[in-house]
Structure 1
Amino acid sequence: MSRITTPFDHDSTAAQVIAGVDLTGRRAVVTGGSSGIGVETARALASAGAEVTLAVRNTAAGERTAAGIIETTGNNHVFVAPLELADRDSVRAFAATWDGPLHILVNNAGVMAEPLNRTPEGWEHQFATNHLGHFGLTLGLYPALAAAGDARIVSVSSSAHHWSPVVFDDIHFRNRPYDAWSAYGQSKTANVLFAIEATKRWAPDGITANALMPGGIRTALQRHVDPDRDAGLKEIFDSFPWKTVEQGAATSVLLAASPVLDGIGGHYFEDCNEATTDVVHGESGVAEHALDPEAATRLWEISREHLRH
Structure 2
Amino acid sequence: MTTDTPVHTPFDARTTALEVVRDIDLTGRRAVVTGGASGIGVETARALAAAGADVTLAVRDLDAGRRAARDIIDSTGNDRLLVAPLDLADQASVAAFVAAWDGPLHVLVNNAGIMASPERRTPEGWELQFATNHLGHFALATGLHRALAAAEGARIVAVSSAAHLRSPVVFDDIHFRQRPYDPWEAYGQSKTANVLFAVEATRRWADDGIVSNALMPGAIPTNLQRYVSAEELERMRAASGGGAATWKTVEQGAATSVLVATSPLLDGIGGRYFEDCQQAAPHQPGTRTGVAAYALDPAAAERLWTVSEQTLRG
Q: What whole-Å deviation, never above 9, does each CA across 1:175-200 have from its counterpart, x for those lacking one?
A: 00000000000000000000000000
Q: Provide the residue aligned with 2:55 in structure 1.
A: 52
- Residues 170 and 176 in structure 1, CA contact (< 8 A), matched pair in contact too: yes
Shift of 1:144: 0.3
Q: Provide the residue aligned with 2:15 in structure 1.
A: 12
Shift of 1:228: 1.9
Determine whether 1:204 maps to 2:207.
Answer: yes
1:295 to 282, 295, 300: 300
Q: CA RMSD in A?
A: 1.3
2:6 to 3, 26, 39: 3
Q: Which moved more, 1:227-236 or 1:84-93?
A: 227-236
2:242 to 239, 242, 254: 239
Q: 1:16 to 1:174 in 2, by over 3 A?
A: same
1:103 to 96, 106, 127: 106
Q: What whole-Å deviation, never above 9, does each CA across 1:134-188 have from its counterpart, x for those lacking one?
A: 0000011001000101000000000000000000000000000000000000000
Determine whether 1:256 maps to 2:285.
Answer: no
Q: Provide the residue aligned with 2:312 in structure 1.
A: 307
Q: One-letter code of the match for 1:247?
A: Q
Distance 1:233 1:207 in 2: 35
- Residues 162 and 282 in structure 1, CA contact (< 8 A), matched pair in contact too: no
Shift of 1:283: 1.4
Q: Provide the residue aligned with 1:80 in structure 2.
A: 83
Q: 1:106 to 1:229 in 2, by over 3 A?
A: closer
3-state secondary structure, aligned to 2:213: strand
Q: Provide the residue aligned with 1:119 in structure 2.
A: 122
Shift of 1:105: 0.1
Distance 1:106 1:145 in 2: 12
Q: One-letter code of the match for 1:9?
A: D
Sequence identity (%): 66
- Residues 227 and 237 in structure 1, CA contact (< 8 A), matched pair in contact too: no
User: Number of matched residues?
Assistant: 309
Q: 1:292 to 1:238 in 2, by over 3 A?
A: closer
Q: 1:39 to 1:303 in 2, by over 3 A?
A: same
Determine whether 1:153 maps to 2:156.
Answer: yes
Q: What whole-Å deviation, never above 9, does each CA across 1:74-94 have from its counterpart, x for those lacking one?
A: 000001000000000000000
Distance 2:206 2:241 in 1: 41
Q: 1:206 to 1:231 in 2, by over 3 A?
A: closer
Q: One-letter code of the match for 1:256?
A: A
Stretches of structure 2 lacking an aligned partner (at least 5 in a row): none
Distance 1:57 1:174 in 2: 28
Shift of 1:231: 7.7
1:16-27 equivalence runs, <5 A? 16-27=19-30
Q: Provide the residue aligned with 2:288 in structure 1.
A: 283
Q: One-letter code of the match for 2:257?
A: S
Q: Provide the residue aligned with 1:194 in structure 2.
A: 197
- Residues 227 and 234 in structure 1, CA contact (< 8 A), matched pair in contact too: no
Q: 1:41 to 1:171 in 2, by over 3 A?
A: same
Q: One-letter code of the match for 1:54?
A: L
Shift of 1:238: 7.6
2:42 to 31, 39, 43: 39
Q: 1:2 to 1:59 in 2, by over 3 A?
A: same
Shift of 1:239: 1.5
Distance 1:6 1:280 in 2: 25
Q: 1:70 to 1:267 in 2, by over 3 A?
A: same
- Residues 113 and 224 in structure 2, CA contact (< 8 A), matched pair in contact too: yes
Distance 1:272 1:198 in 2: 21
Q: Provide the residue aligned with 2:175 in structure 1.
A: 172
Stretches of structure 1 lacking an aligned partner (at least 5 in a row): none
